[in-house]
Structure 1
Amino acid sequence: MNNKKKIAEDNLLAYKSMKKESLYLKIAHIIEEQIVSGTMQLGDKLPSLRVVQKMYHVSINTVKQAFLELESRSLIESRPRSGYFVSKIAQRRLSLPSVGRLQASDNEHDQEDLIDKVYNSLKKENLTQFSLGVPAQSMLPIAKLNKGIVNVIRKLDDGGTSYEPAQGSINLRRSIAKWSMEFEGQLTEEDLVTTSGAMNAIFNCLLAVTKPGDTIAMETPVYFGTIQIAKSLGLHVIEIPSHPICGIDMDALKKVISKIDVCCFTANFSNPLGSLMPEENKIELVKMLTERNIPLIEDDLYGNLYFGTNRPKPCKAFDEAGIVMWCGSFSKTLAPGYRVGWVAPGKFKKKIIRQKLLQTISTPVLYQEVIADFMEHGRYDHHLQNFRNKLYSNCFQYQRAIEEYFPDNTKISDPQGGFVLWLELDKRIDTASLFDTAIRQNISFAPGRMFTLQDRYHNCMRLNFALEWNERIHTDLKRLGTIVKNAF
């Protein structure tokens, strides 16, 4: 009798479980149909959990299960403190860009003239600068920073005119160390050295761990500044294929790891692809390089500009041997012209400090103290939250415009953070020539050829979406799409 009772109870539980499962799947299916049919558009906000609960007379847990089901299929995505939104992937019409090939710099193609041309064009008035990798001034807290300058000058005994220790401002280093707890960073102020921006940090790292003729691995496509630094130091470059979503191709790296002396990667929101390396790949990468004692220079310039719920950890978070040199800057998030960056150089700290002392003696203390002051009391976090929301919205707007105005065979990246888009156009298009046409119409972009040492990416371009979205930006994207269509 007891046996029968237990069987009956089990059957009842199973029935209730099936009923509950069918409810959450039913809700998920209704929302999915609205997304697929276009009733709910790309970027639209879903009703809150409470609203859906009342609509279908179910428990909150059932609604959560429905949302998790939709999220697992990339139909919706959550945004910090904002709710759930229709995912970019859900209604994506254009394909992702192609993955580059594994290639060494045996047959280099000079890109310096093209880089000079792009930067010289920035002097032109009334130019829409899709090419420049910095945010618009209107998106930065300039007034608050200016007020901070006045406050800091009053606090400093010398008004910021004296030398400081070569390691950098103790206040700023302490602020960065505290803030790194956001991604479970176990850093102290003694682990950090301030620099004149992220590029200065990367240069010093390469100078510390390489000699002319060494081989460096970097992703492809890659930020042209990193390539230029490697060339200036006489390094041999191997470009590792990078997927537009998950970043570095680990299998490709393993094929050439025996030839590598140093790696320089952007694990979080690479420039120009915007890819994000999965955490398990970061762990594998650090372990593989640690076993071979190969230094990793990590450019984490865009790490704070994530579109998800949490800041992704840098590779540095998994570094126990001190081989990862974690580089960052406030240039992309706060004040490009301040030129304030940092590096956590691990076991190479003494060498980095010695190099900095020889090159610059010290970095200007004023702007370091202004940023340290701004980071106090959560002001930096508050700014980042607003900034990320704007960038996330802009990314939607740009992608919609590109899908509407560019040729149907255009391929476009789907960045999970940062503020650049990578476009792959028809193979017959040369974006270096297209650049000249666009400039005559006061539109600038970065031709793809700038982001490699190889003879490739001629039909690609990078666009900056850290500009205030307005009618002019919308119109200029439409005009740029027309320029591309007329290039055939």
Structure 2
Amino acid sequence: MTLYQNLADRLQGLIRDQVYPVGSRLPGVRLLSEQHGVSVSTAVNACRELEQRGVLEARPRSGYYVRQPALVREPPRVARVSRKPRRITGQERVLQILQSVKDPRVVNLGAAVPAPEFMPVASMERVYHSVLREERRRCVGYEFPPGAPELRTQIARRLAGLQCDVTPEEVLITNSCQESVSIALKLVTRPGDTVAIESPTYYGLLQVIESLGLKALEIPTDPEQGISLDALTLALERWDVAACVVVSNFSNPLGVCLSDTRKQALLALLEKHKVPLVEDDIYGDLPLSGPRPRPLKSWDRKGLVYYCSSSSKTLSAGMRVGWLVPPSGQQERAEYLQFINTVSVNTPAQLALARYLEKGRYDHFLRQLCADHVRGVARMTERVTQLFPAESRVSRPAGGFVLWVELPGDVDTTNLLEDALRAGVSFAPGALFSASGKFSNCLRMNCAVKWDNRVEQALVMLSRLL
């Protein structure tokens, strides 16, 4: 734990003990640094950390004040799921939700697509302009697999900072994280095979499993602890599982992050049964507090982990650049599969992303982006708690920017969506996140929206429909 996190914990304890009651102003950062024997920058970072945790709020030219704590709802329950592998059905509704993003009459709370206000639009525009000006001849051609060398180098460097022993030659550039997952599953499965997945899980994964003719074996997932290792152990003993797919850091839709201990236990379990692990780390750069967690890949010593990620949740959803790091010996086959999928990944996008990472702006931008997501998740949680039925349960994501809401009674959110779209608001119904149609009384909400009166009205309208 860093110095600023230690100071943040001490200050949070003082707030909890009413030394600094709700509404009171904290001492200035210079005074805090003197009182606690730390540098001014450490005091500043500690206050920012508490702001991200929702404990403090910054007021312009005034300082940091203790926030009124929001009402807290119980987290969603761990659902009982099918104990046998299943074919995927019922994913056709996804396209309707995604198309609503483009409809100016609909407030998008359904697709996990950040609003442009959460992206470095101006910076990316400048980078694209410089790439198109300086690399114009290269930009009009194909950048065949494995992709642009400079981008693969930047990704390998970032993974090295996360304790992953990866060289640029091992990185394959893809069109998205979803394509990375698809290629990884093609490398380790055949049609008819069984894949163990979290439940609930991202519906995009279910679409990939369906398209490859695979079966899904749902493993119960706790909204605070992550995938059940006991249930996975029983599944591996009973069924012939060809692969396991896990969003290790800030899963979609629960936002849960596996602890380092549980990550290592999961990897040891899969090593014991010789089951490959496809790791989706697309949300790893978006913690709502604390440092960026390590990927499972960083503990892989047996070559079981296929690491997948993308820039679509941080820099640009439209850039469509992802990457896959397969184990040693799989690179050539992975490159061929990427080639027959789409021939090449957009060349200007690859070069622009490489240049943006090379300039060293990414980490600075991430700090601001994570703070924005903290505010967005806190505000959405607060309004959902105030407006939705009292018995509703709300997730407490450790990262990312989506909320998972469990509604009381026999509400069917799939049916509810039709009325909601007509009323000008979208959400993702819970049944989409299960291979067996579970979670029909749940929904997922996108918190990365520009907060304005339209969003407020949409939430009020949704609460009335409920």
Name the structure 1 match of 2:16.
32
Structure 2 CA distance for aligned equivalents of residues 428 and 225 of structure 1 = 26
C-alpha change, 1:481 and 1:284, in structure 2 (3 Å) is same
1:232 aligns with 2:211: yes
1:417 aligns with 2:406: no
C-alpha change, 1:317 and 1:142, in structure 2 (3 Å) is same
Structure 2 CA distance for aligned equivalents of residues 48 and 309 of structure 1 = 22
Given that 1:267 and 1:276 are in contact with CA atoms closer than 8 Å, whether structure 2 keeps it comes out as yes
Partner amino acid for 1:152? Answer: V
1:470 counterpart (447, 452, 456): 452
Given that 1:108 and 1:455 are in contact with CA atoms closer than 8 Å, whether structure 2 keeps it comes out as no
1:178 aligns with 2:162: no
C-alpha change, 1:471 and 1:321, in structure 2 (3 Å) is same
Name the structure 1 match of 2:223.
244
1:407 aligns with 2:389: yes
Given that 2:202 and 2:252 are in contact with CA atoms closer than 8 Å, whether structure 1 keeps it comes out as yes
Name the structure 2 match of 1:275.
256
CA RMSD of aligned residues (A): 2.8
Given that 1:79 and 1:308 are in contact with CA atoms closer than 8 Å, whether structure 2 keeps it comes out as no
Give SS of 2:173's match. strand
Give SS of 1:261's match. strand
1:340 counterpart (300, 309, 321): 321
1:147 aligns with 2:131: no
C-alpha change, 1:30 and 1:296, in structure 2 (3 Å) is closer
2:343 counterpart (361, 373, 376): 361
- Report which stretch shifted further, 305-314 or 348-357: 348-357
1:330 aligns with 2:314: no
Structure 2 CA distance for aligned equivalents of residues 277 and 450 of structure 1 = 23
C-alpha change, 1:351 and 1:104, in structure 2 (3 Å) is farther
- Report which stretch shifted further, 451-460 or 117-126: 117-126
Given that 2:79 and 2:220 are in contact with CA atoms closer than 8 Å, whether structure 1 keeps it comes out as yes
1:291 counterpart (262, 268, 272): 272
Given that 2:54 and 2:375 are in contact with CA atoms closer than 8 Å, whether structure 1 keeps it comes out as no
Counterparts of 1:295-310 in structure 2 under 5 Å? 295-310=276-291
Give SS of 2:282's match. coil
- Report which stretch shifted further, 449-458 or 108-117: 108-117
Given that 2:85 and 2:194 are in contact with CA atoms closer than 8 Å, whether structure 1 keeps it comes out as no
Give SS of 1:336's match. coil
Given that 2:53 and 2:288 are in contact with CA atoms closer than 8 Å, whether structure 1 keeps it comes out as no
Structure 1 CA distance for aligned equivalents of residues 279 and 80 of structure 2 = 22
Following superposition, the deviation at residue 83 of structure 1 comes to 8.4
Residue by residue over 1:51-72, the C-alpha shift from the partner in whole angstroms, topping out at 9 and shown as x without a partner, is 4688xxx7649xxxxx9xxxxx
C-alpha change, 1:279 and 1:146, in structure 2 (3 Å) is same
The structure in which a higher percent of residues are helix is: 1
Following superposition, the deviation at residue 112 of structure 1 comes to 2.4
Following superposition, the deviation at residue 47 of structure 1 comes to 4.8
Given that 2:86 and 2:216 are in contact with CA atoms closer than 8 Å, whether structure 1 keeps it comes out as no
C-alpha change, 1:151 and 1:107, in structure 2 (3 Å) is closer
Given that 1:78 and 1:309 are in contact with CA atoms closer than 8 Å, whether structure 2 keeps it comes out as no
1:197 counterpart (172, 176, 189): 176
C-alpha change, 1:26 and 1:233, in structure 2 (3 Å) is closer
Partner amino acid for 1:296? Answer: L
Given that 1:262 and 1:296 are in contact with CA atoms closer than 8 Å, whether structure 2 keeps it comes out as yes
Give SS of 1:111's match. coil
Residue by residue over 1:360-381, the C-alpha shift from the partner in whole angstroms, topping out at 9 and shown as x without a partner, is 3322221100011111222111
Partner amino acid for 2:169? Answer: E
Following superposition, the deviation at residue 184 of structure 1 comes to 2.4
Name the structure 2 match of 1:265.
246
Following superposition, the deviation at residue 107 of structure 1 comes to 6.0
Structure 2 CA distance for aligned equivalents of residues 286 and 104 of structure 1 = 22
Structure 2 CA distance for aligned equivalents of residues 89 and 228 of structure 1 = 42
Given that 1:274 and 1:415 are in contact with CA atoms closer than 8 Å, whether structure 2 keeps it comes out as yes
Structure 1 CA distance for aligned equivalents of residues 279 and 10 of structure 2 = 45
Residue by residue over 1:17-51, the C-alpha shift from the partner in whole angstroms, topping out at 9 and shown as x without a partner, is xxxxxxxx99987632449xx9527xx98556764
Residue by residue over 1:164-193, the C-alpha shift from the partner in whole angstroms, topping out at 9 and shown as x without a partner, is 341111111111111223322332211210
Partner amino acid for 1:360? Answer: T
Following superposition, the deviation at residue 79 of structure 1 comes to 4.8
- Report which stretch shifted further, 254-263 or 88-97: 88-97
Structure 1 CA distance for aligned equivalents of residues 92 and 339 of structure 2 = 33
Given that 2:15 and 2:21 are in contact with CA atoms closer than 8 Å, whether structure 1 keeps it comes out as no
Structure with higher Rg: it is: 1
Counterparts of 1:154-165 in structure 2 under 5 Å? 154-156=133-135, 158-165=137-144
Partner amino acid for 1:305? Answer: L
Give SS of 2:210's match. helix
Give SS of 2:139's match. coil
Structure 1 CA distance for aligned equivalents of residues 27 and 77 of structure 2 = 36
Structure 2 CA distance for aligned equivalents of residues 339 and 400 of structure 1 = 33
Give aligned pairs, total. 439
Name the structure 1 match of 2:292.
311
Structure 2 CA distance for aligned equivalents of residues 182 and 80 of structure 1 = 21
C-alpha change, 1:410 and 1:115, in structure 2 (3 Å) is same
Structure 2 CA distance for aligned equivalents of residues 154 and 207 of structure 1 = 38
C-alpha change, 1:177 and 1:426, in structure 2 (3 Å) is same
1:459 aligns with 2:441: yes
Structure 2, unpaired ranges of 5+? 1-8, 57-66
Given that 1:79 and 1:85 are in contact with CA atoms closer than 8 Å, whether structure 2 keeps it comes out as no
- Report which stretch shifted further, 134-143 or 286-295: 286-295
Give SS of 1:270's match. coil
Give SS of 2:195's match. strand
Name the structure 2 match of 1:320.
301
Structure 2 CA distance for aligned equivalents of residues 235 and 408 of structure 1 = 40
